[in-house]
Amino acid sequence: MPVAASAIYFLNLRGDVLINRLYRDDVGGNMVDAFRMHIMQTKELGTCPVRQIGGCSFFYMRISNVYIVIVVSSNANVACAFKFVVEAVALFKSYFGGAFDEDAIRNNFVLIYELLDEIMDFGYPQNLSPEILKLYITQEGVRSPFSSKQPLDKPVPNATLQVTGAVGWRREGLVFLDIVESVNLLMSSKGSVLRCDVTGKILMKCFLSGMPDLKLGLNDKIGLEKESQLKNRPTKSGKTIELDDVTFHQCVNLTRFNSEKTVSFVPPDGEFELMKYRITEGVNLPFRVLPTIKELGRTRMEVNVKVKSVFGAKMFALGVVIKIPVPKQTAKTSFQVTSGRAKYNASIDCLVWKIRKFPGQTEPTLSAEIELISTIAEKKSWTRPPIQMEFQVPMFTASGLRVRFLKVWEKSGYNTVEWVRYITKAGSYEVRC
C-alpha cells in the first residue's frame, strides 16, 4: 500500500511549525501538538523514526535544522514514506540551489506549497522528478547566498508526454541494442579446430512512444543480396555472414522477412530479445591456446601454456580465466606467469590462471612445475581433461555480425538515437592437452 499520508509538517528544532499541508480530514489540526509533547519534549527523537500515538503513526526525519513529519491514520508503507521524504528534499534542493534548511523554507513559502500540491495527491505520492516538475512549475526559488551558483537544470522538451507517461527520467527516441555472443570451441593441442560454433542473441531496449515500425539491417549475406535486387544495385563489398538458425520475437513481421529479408517489427515496451541465431562458418576465434604438457617420470610434470589474443590491439578482454587440469595426486606446484596470477585449486584439480584485463595481439605464457605423490600401486594413465577458458570481449563479435542500420518508419517523424554494444563471451571454450 502507498503512503496515504494524512498530513505533512515541517518543524524547526524548537517545534515551531514552518509549513504544513493537510491531505485528508481523518486527523485533527492539533496532531503536531501530540508530536511536540510526546516526542520532542521527551527527547526521544533519536531512538526510533516511527512512533505511534493514539490512533496515528508519526514518521519523522531530520534534515539540517528541520524536522519533516508525516502523519498517517492507517497502516502504511514506512519505507515508501521515507523514500518520499528523501526525494522531496532533493526536489526542494534543486529549486533552492542546493540548500534546504529553515531559512530556505521561510524564503520559499509560496513555491513549497505549490510543490506540495503537485507531489502528493490525497496522501498518495505523485511525480517527484525535478526535470519534469520544472517544465510547468517554472518559478525559481530564493537562493541562499551560500548555495551554489549553478543554473537550474535545462528543461526537457515535450512536457505533456513526459508528465503523463512513464518515461519522465529520460528523453524519448532512445534505442539500445546489445549483441551478445557465446563461442563454443573444441580445439586440439596442436591448434586445429575440431568443433566450433557461435550462438548469439540481439537484446533491445526501446523508449519509443506510439506504435513505430522499425527496420533493422544486418550484414547477413542473404539480406544484402535481396536488398541489392530490390534496389537494382550491385552488392556492396565488405564482410558478410551466413546465419544458420534464426529465431525471432513474435513482434517481427515474418512475411516481410521472407519476401525482403529485412527484420521489420513494432517493438514492445522495455527490454526484450529480438532474435537468436547460430553461426558455424567463418568464426573469428578471440583466443588461441597452445599447451605443452610433459610427464617426467612418475613424480614430476612440466606445464607450458601460451594464450594468444587474436582480436585487435585496441581491444581487450575482461575476466579471463584459464583452467588447466592436473592429476589428482598433485602434491606441490610452482608457477611463472608473464601476466595475471595463477594458483593451484585442489578442489577442482586445476591450475587456475586469471588475467583481469587481456589486451589484444598479446601472448602471455604460464610455466609450471608439478610434483606428484608417489604411490606403490600401479599408476593409472591420466586422461588429460581439456583446458577450459572463461572471458568476455567487449565490442567484438566472433561471428562478424554488424548492425548496418536501425531505421524508424520515415513518416513517423522520429529523431532516434541508437546505441549498439557488442559482447563476446565464452560458452564451452575447450582445448585438448
Residue-level pLDDT at 122:
83
Structure confidence at residue 394 as a pLDDT band (50, 70, 90):
very high
Predicted local distance difference test score (pLDDT) of residue 151: 43
Set of cell numbers at residue 10: 515541517
Closest CA to 57 of 41, 34, 80: 34
Q: How far is CA 176 from CA 115, 209, 230, in A?
A: 34, 15, 29
Mean pLDDT lowest among 14-23, 159-168, 205-214, 288-297? 159-168
Tell me: the pLDDT tens digits for 64-90?
Answer: 889 899 888 877 888 888 889 999 998
pLDDT tops 70 at residue 297: yes
Residue 299 pLDDT > 50: yes
Q: Is it the case that residue 285 has pLDDT exceeding 90?
A: yes
294-308 burial: b if 16+ Cβ within 10 Å, else e: eeeeeeebebebebb
What string of H, E and C letters represents the secondary structure of the chain?
Answer: CCCCCCEEEEEECCCCEEEEEECCCCCCCCHHHHHHHHHHCCCCCCCCCEEEECCEEEEEEEECCEEEEEEECCCCCHHHHHHHHHHHHHHHHHHHCCCCCHHHHHCCHHHHHHHHHHHEECCEECCCCHHHHHHHCCCCCCCCCCCCCCCCCCCCCCHHHHHHCCCCCCCCCEEEEEEEEEEEEEECCCCCEEEEEEEEEEEEEEECCCCCCEEEEECEHHHHHHHHHHHCCCCCCCCCECCCEEEECCCECHHHHHHHCCEEECCCCEEEEEEEEEECCCCCCCEEEEEEEEEECCCEEEEEEEEEECCCCCCEEEEEEEEEECCCCEEEEEEEECCCEEEEECCCCEEEEEEEEEECCCCCEEEEEEEECCCCCCCCCCCCCCEEEEEEEECCCCCCCCEEEEEECHHHCCCCEEEEEEEEEEEEEEECC
pLDDT band at 395 (very low <50, low <70, confident <90, very high): very high
Beta bridge partners of 332: 371
**CB-facing half-sphere around the CA of 395: CA atoms within 13 A:** 7
pLDDT over 70 for what percent of the chain?
Answer: 83
**What are the tens digits of pLDDT across the range 26-62?**
777 777 788 888 877 776 666 788 888 878 888 888 8
What pLDDT is stored for residue 27 in this prediction?
79
| pLDDT, average across residues 195-205 | 94
| pLDDT the model gives residue 53 | 81
Please give the pLDDT value at position 186. Answer: 94
Segment 238-260 shows an average pLDDT of 85
pLDDT mean over 394-413:
82
- Position with higher pLDDT, 339 vs 232: 339
**What average pLDDT does the segment 384-410 reach?**
89
Residue 316 has pLDDT above 90, yes or no: yes
| Residue 307 pLDDT grade (very low, low, confident, very high; cuts 50, 70, 90) | very high
Percent of residues, the chain, with pLDDT higher than 90: 33
User: For 85-142, what is each residue's pLDDT tens digit?
Assistant: 999 998 888 888 878 888 888 888 888 888 888 888 888 888 888 878 887 787 777 6
Most trustworthy range by pLDDT among 206-215, 231-240, 348-357, 377-386: 348-357
Higher-pLDDT residue of 89, 167: 89
pLDDT score for 320: 96
Higher-confidence position of 344 and 148: 344
